Amino acid sequence: MRTLARRSLLIRCPVILPLFLALLLAFPALSSAQLVLGQYEDEAPLRTWNIFGFQTASSLGRGDTTYASASDCSIALTNPALLIDLPRFTATINATSYFASLYKFSIINTGVLSTGKNPSFTLYALDFGGISYQFKSWAFALTMALVEIYDRPGARYEYSHNGTLYYTLDFSQKGILRNTNLSIARRLSRRFQVGLGFNLASGDLKREMVEKWLDPGITISDHKSQDFSGFFLNGGIVAKITEKWDAALVFRTPYTKKSQSQSDLRYSAPAGGTDIKIAADSSDVYRQPLVVGVGLSYKFSSRFQVFSDLSFFHWSGYKVEYFAEEMERVFKDTLKWGLGAEYIAHLRVLSSDAFIPLRIGVAHDPQPMQEQNSAYTYFSAGTGFHWRMISLDFGASFGREKGSGNSLEARRISLSLSVHL
C-alpha cells in the first residue's frame, strides 16, 4: 500500500569509550519505559496526534475542512451524512507525499544519542481508495485509508578509533494503521440528512535495535512487533439551514486499539559460546479518544464558498498498557480548527463545461502533551480540473510547529482522482 523513501541518520564517535559505557548506552535503549519522550512516543502518528478520518487533495487544499461539504467519497470517514450530496456513483483514489521533521523519538535526543539538527523523513503512499453509491434517499460507501503512520528515520551510530570500526548501533521503526469503513446515509427531509460509519482498524508496528561490538564479536538485538486491531463508529448529521448556510455535527466513538505484541531480546557472543534469547508475548491496549466536531459552510455564490471545522479530541482519556505496564502519557484535551475557501472557475473544453477549483486554507493543530505547549500551524492551497465524469485534484499543506523549541516541519502533497457517474 505504500512506497518509502527513507532518510537515515549517521552518528560517528571519534573518542574511545570503555566497554561498560557502551553497555550503559544499550540499557536504556532496551527499556523504553524509562524514557519520557514528549511528542514522539513510539505509537505517535507521524506529524500529528490529531487525526480524524482522511483528507484527500481537495479538502487538504482548503485547510483540512471536511465536515460540511463533500468533494469525494472520503467524506465517509468523517461525515457520512454528506454521501447524499455526491453523484449517484463516485470512485476515488488518492496518493500523498508525506514529510516530517522530528526531534525526540526512541533513542534519538532522549539521553542516549543526540543530533545536531532535526532528522527528517519522507514517505510516498497510495493512501486512499473508495466507492459510493446513492439510491433515492439512501447512500452507501466502502472505503479504505491509510490513516496513521508510525515510521521514523533510520539511525546508525558508529564508534571508531584510529580508522578502525569497533562498535555499531542500528535503529529502525516502521508501521501503519489502516481504516476500512462501511457507511450508510439517509436524507430525512429537504433540510436534514444523517450518516453512520462502521470502521475496522488494522495495522502493525515494528521496532528493531541491533548493537555490535566487532572486536569481541558480541551482538545484542532487540526486536519488538505489534499487530493492531479495533472497531469504532463514526457519524454525522447535516442541516441545510438556508440556501447559503450548511451546518454539520460529527463524531467518532472512543475505542480500544488492541495489540498482539511480541518482544525478542538476544545476546550472542560466539567466541564465548553464549547465545541467550528472551522472548515475551503480550495483549496490549491503546484507548483512543472520543472525537466530536462541528462544521459550517457558506455560499457567497454558486462559484465561491467558505468552510470552517472545529474538532475536539478527548486526549485526557488516552491510556496505554504495554507489556502489562501502564505507560506514562499525561495528555490534555485539544481543539483543532481549520478555515478554507474555494472559488470555481468555468471554461469550455471540447464543447463541454469544465471547472477549475482554486482553494486556500489555514489550520491550527495543538498537540496533546501537557509538558509542552506545542502546536502546528498549517497553510494550504490546491487546484484541480473537473471535466465531464473526471475530477482531478491537487492539494498541498505546509506546517511549522511552535512550542517545543525544535521548529519542527510537516508537509503533505496529495493528488486525487475521482470518477462520477
pLDDT for the residue 32: 33
pLDDT for the residue 41: 86
Cα(90)–Cα(285) distance, integer angstroms:
36
DSSP 3-state assignment of 54?
Answer: coil
* Residues 351-359, mean pLDDT to the nearest whole number: 94
pLDDT for the residue 10: 53
Q: Residue 215: which pLDDT band, with cuts at 50, 70 and 90? A: confident
Number of Cβ atoms within 10 Å of the Cβ of 73: 30
The total number of residues written for the chain in this structure: 421
Angle made by CA atoms 321, 177, 418, in degrees to the nearest 5:
155
β-strand partners of 246: 297
Residue 393 has pLDDT above 80, yes or no: yes
Would you put residue 33 in left (φ > 0), alpha (ψ -120 to 50) or beta? alpha
Condensed to tens digits (0 to 9), the pLDDT of residues 162-183 reads: 888 999 999 999 999 999 999 9
* Residues 144-170, mean pLDDT to the nearest whole number: 92
Residue 369 has pLDDT above 80, yes or no: yes
In this predicted structure, which of 4-8, 218-222, 414-418 has the lowest mean pLDDT?
A: 4-8
Residue 246 has pLDDT above 60, yes or no: yes
The contacts of residue 161 (CB under 8 Å, 6+ apart) are 14, 15, 16
pLDDT for the residue 356: 97
pLDDT for the residue 13: 43
In the chain, the percentage of residues whose pLDDT exceeds 70 is 90
* Residues 199-218, mean pLDDT to the nearest whole number: 94
More confident residue, 121 or 146: 146
Residue 37 has pLDDT above 80, yes or no: no
Residue 2 has pLDDT above 90, yes or no: no
C-alpha cell at 64: 483540512
Cα(85)–Cα(79) distance, integer angstroms:
11
Condensed to tens digits (0 to 9), the pLDDT of residues 306-320 reads: 999 999 999 999 999
In terms of DSSP bridges, do strands 152-161 and 9-13 run parallel, antiparallel, or are they unpaired? parallel
Sign of CA dihedral 27, 31, 36, 40: positive
User: Which range is most confident: 22-36, 51-65, 268-282?
Assistant: 51-65
* Residues 237-264, mean pLDDT to the nearest whole number: 97
In this predicted structure, which of 19-23, 69-73, 331-335, 401-405 has the lowest mean pLDDT?
A: 19-23
Count: domains in the chain: 1
Cα(53)–Cα(31) distance, integer angstroms:
33
Output phi, psi for 221, to 5 deg: -125, 145
Q: Which amino acid is at 201?
A: A
Q: Which of 281, 285, 330, 340 is nearest to 307 (CA)?
A: 340
Output phi, psi for 377, to 5 deg: -120, 125
C-alpha cell at 17: 569509550
* Residues 133-152, mean pLDDT to the nearest whole number: 96
Residue 244's domain is classified under what CATH number?
Answer: 2.40.160.60
C-alpha cell at 138: 439512501
CA end-to-end span of the chain: 26
C-alpha cell at 141: 460507501
More confident residue, 284 or 215: 284
Average pLDDT, the chain: 89
C-alpha cell at 142: 466502502
In terms of DSSP bridges, do strands 352-366 and 334-349 run parallel, antiparallel, or are they unpaired? antiparallel
The contacts of residue 350 (CB under 8 Å, 6+ apart) are none
Condensed to tens digits (0 to 9), the pLDDT of residues 72-113 reads: 999 999 999 999 999 999 999 999 999 999 988 888 888 778
Q: Which of 309, 305, 257 is nearest to 283 (CA)?
A: 257
Residue holding cell 545484542?
A: 220
Say which DSSP state 45 is in: P
- Alpha helix locations (H) across 12-106? 19-29, 57-61
Domain that residue 189 falls in:
2-420
Q: Residue 40: which pLDDT band, with cuts at 50, 70 and 90? A: low
More confident residue, 30 or 93: 93
